[in-house]
Chain A
Amino acid sequence: MPRRILFITTDQQRYDALGCNGGRVARTPAVDELAREGIRYTRAIPSNVVCMPSRSTMLTGQHVATHGVWMNGVALPVDAPSIAMDLWRNGYRTALIGKAHFEPFLDPFALFTENSLATLGEETVYRETVDGRLEPHRGFEHLELATHNGMGPLHYAKWLRENHPEAIGMLYPILNAQLQVNEAGGGDTGAPQVKHNPMPREWYHTDWVADRAVSWIDKQNTDDDWFCWVSFPDPHHAWDPPMSELHRVNWRDLDLPEGWVDDPVERERILASKPAHWLGWYHGTFVSNYEAPAKWIPSTLTADQVREVNAMVHIQNELVDEAVARIIATLRAKGWYDDVDVVFTTDHGEFQGDFGLLFKGPYHVDSLMRLPLIWRPAPSRTKVAPTTVDTPVGLVSLAATFAEIAGLRRPSYTEAERLPLSDSEANALGHQRVLTEWDSVLFGKIVSLRTITRGSWVCTATLPGTVHDGTDGELYNLADDPLQHVNLWHDPSHRAVRDDLLDDMWRNLPTASAPRRACDAPV
């Protein structure tokens, strides 16, 4: 019986985006069904809270310190370990459809392969190994790539230009004239990165990714083993789903998120209890990274803007779910669904109003770190009782999980065991901690964080940088403080647990190779 793996990722999706995780707005029946049939992880954590490092961890099974993609704009080397390559070498048909982002997007000199494929009209490029074999780019023999907009060299943008050129200006311009993340507001409330997009739904990147995935799956033979990574660019900003879909969620009807602190005085008090880069960003005095508009000041965010952004995200999440349903319907129609392992997750989260903030950055709290993760093992192969796993697990376990599904030995380059099938197995496999790293150096602002999640504790150390001297940090007990409003870092009564967590983190965090690889673009 062939082994087939469908790996579905979204971009910048919160844990509570899904109905199965307690989300009460967006209807996500397709993904909820996967959760009912498989394992739903209630605390899945990335190795980094921006795209390129997190996606590199998914592919390599390595921590950021090891794969070396230490911030957005740092390319994953083309000869980096790749679970897709291991699968390809073992006879799998392999595809990545949608957003890759192992290489920088801002690439006017076309230095990077993934930016060149659509122009070349090639499915992939093959490179010669030292022993003379030809292997496809990162192990993928088919790549059709997209991001959140219609500009640039990727396949979706090319398709849009060639087939619907009038649509190019319909999407929100993610960058402004200074090539900074655009702060321009739109919609009904003037919220940043919101736009009423007149594009027909059929032209939107979510449906394009589903179309291309269905097309690829349709071409596979009945006896092929395959690994298909379907990578939706949404619900990442810009928040510009097709206007035809706005009827789904009226922002005026939405409650504010639980993490929104309505009283500005209390909001600032909470932010001030965290390391200085939190309040600095809130007031617009310390913009340290490219993942949010440099000219947007979070303290100007209004409750209605939060509602509208959240409505847009819910709509984007519903469109993704319907796209997932289409792909699954294709598998059912071919009689393959019960033979496919389906893994669903995202690369990192989004504030969506928590703490009065939007977007993401050097902030290791649940908004950005608690992710949806579901594994629906193929029922025809693995008899698993549907369950939830509450033990913290990392996306660093995905590569080993794909190897396990394929019946391969865990690759020696991976740094974590496969995902557990239960909490008891999590303990047996050694899922004792998850480590998350952050480094950013843009705009002359240096911020470095190292975080351990263990049990109900999340502990973040700041490293010396532009605003930190290495003595500040964050410590939260998620059991008592699910919103992470009470920073226990400086609380003497929690000194012992803090020091124990830090000791555990430093003993287990891989040492980064030096010198660090160059950052070739802001994103």
Chain B
Amino acid sequence: MWAFIGRPEALHEWFPTTATRVEGDKRWVTLPSGIVFEEQIVLVDNDLRRFQYSIIGNPLITQHLGTIDVIPITDRSCIVVYSTNIDPEVLGLAIGAAAGDGLRTLQEKFGKA
């Protein structure tokens, strides 16, 4: 799971986005609505299995930090936790909905434990 999620360029393979481009520690994500988010990749920690990113350069979004944790349960199962801090806060609901969609995709792709 971490080998899949931990690749910043693979976001569109599981999250409801249409395209992903990565250059260094920057990522550009295209949403189905056509909106493009520019993101700073904050952390890719293969030991903690934690990925963190921040939406930047968006006049609407004054603060953002997204965190994805893959927490091992057994050798064959894990919990994926997606959390977001964002201002404006109401966008948290929309990102939460997208995250739910993405997590369901992961569940279908990797199967339940």
Contacts and interface: CB of A to CB of B under 8 A. Distances in A.
Q: How extensive is the interface on chain B, given as a class?
A: 20 to 34
Contacts of A177: 59-60
A42 interface: no
Interface stretch (A106-114, A228-236, A298-306, A387-395): A106-114
B21 to A, nearest CB: 18
Q: Which of B16, B60, B90, B93 gathers most chain A CB within 10 Å?
A: B90
B90 A110 contact: no
Contacts of A73: 93
A174 interface: no
Contacts of B31: 108-110
Nearest to A109: B98
Contacts of B16: 109-111
Contacts of B60: 177, 179
A178 interface: yes
A55 to B, nearest CB: 19
A443 B87 CA distance: 13
A291 interface: no
Contacts of A107: 33, 94
Contact of B33 (A104, A109, A519, A521): A109
Contact of B88 (A109, A110, A179): A179
Given A108-B31, A108-B35, A110-B32, A521 B100 contact: no
Interface string A168-187: 00000000011110000000
A108 B33 contact: yes
A277 B98 CA distance: 32
B17 interface: yes
Interface string A8-28: 000000000000000000000
B25 interface: no
A110 B87 CA distance: 20
Interface string B32-52: 110100000000000000000
Q: How extensive is the interface on chain A, given as a class?
A: 20 to 34
Interface in A471-523: 518-522
B13 to A, nearest CB: 15
Contacts of A521: 90, 93-94, 97
Contact of B96 (A153, A290, A518): A518
B87 to A, nearest CB: 8
Interface string A91-121: 0000000000000101111110001100000
A290 B59 CA distance: 22
A335 B65 CA distance: 61
A104 B94 CA distance: 9
A520 B90 contact: no
Task: Name B's interface SS.
Answer: loop
Contact of B97 (A111, A116, A178, A180): A111
B33 A110 contact: yes
Given A153-B33, A179-B60, A518-B100, A108 B90 contact: no
B81 interface: no
Q: Which of B31, B60, B97 gathers most chain A CB within 10 Å?
A: B97
A111 B101 contact: yes
B91 interface: yes
Interface string A239-279: 00000000000000000000000000000000000000000
B59 to A, nearest CB: 8
Contact of B94 (A109, A180, A290, A443): A109
B90 A518 contact: no
Nearest to B16: A109
A179 B90 contact: yes
A111 B98 contact: yes
B33 A522 contact: no
Contacts of B33: 107-110, 115, 153
A7 to B, nearest CB: 29
A430 to B, nearest CB: 39
Interface in A104-141: 104, 106-111, 115-116
A109 B90 contact: no
A162 to B, nearest CB: 15
A238 to B, nearest CB: 18
Given A108-B33, A111-B16, A520 B88 contact: no
What 9 A-B pairs have minimum CB-CB distances, sorted nearest first? A520-B97, A110-B32, A109-B98, A179-B88, A522-B90, A178-B88, A109-B16, A110-B33, A179-B90
29 contacts: A73-B93, A104-B97, A106-B90, A108-B31, A108-B91, A108-B98, A109-B17, A109-B32, A109-B33, A109-B94, A109-B97, A109-B98, A110-B16, A110-B33, A111-B16, A111-B97, A111-B98, A115-B33, A153-B33, A177-B60, A179-B88, A179-B91, A180-B88, A290-B90, A520-B93, A520-B94, A521-B93, A521-B94, A522-B90
Interface of B: 16-17, 31-33, 35, 59-60, 87-91, 93-94, 96-98, 100-101
Given A109-B98, A522-B90, 11 more contacts: A106-B93, A108-B33, A108-B91, A109-B101, A110-B16, A177-B59, A179-B90, A518-B96, A520-B100, A521-B93, A521-B97
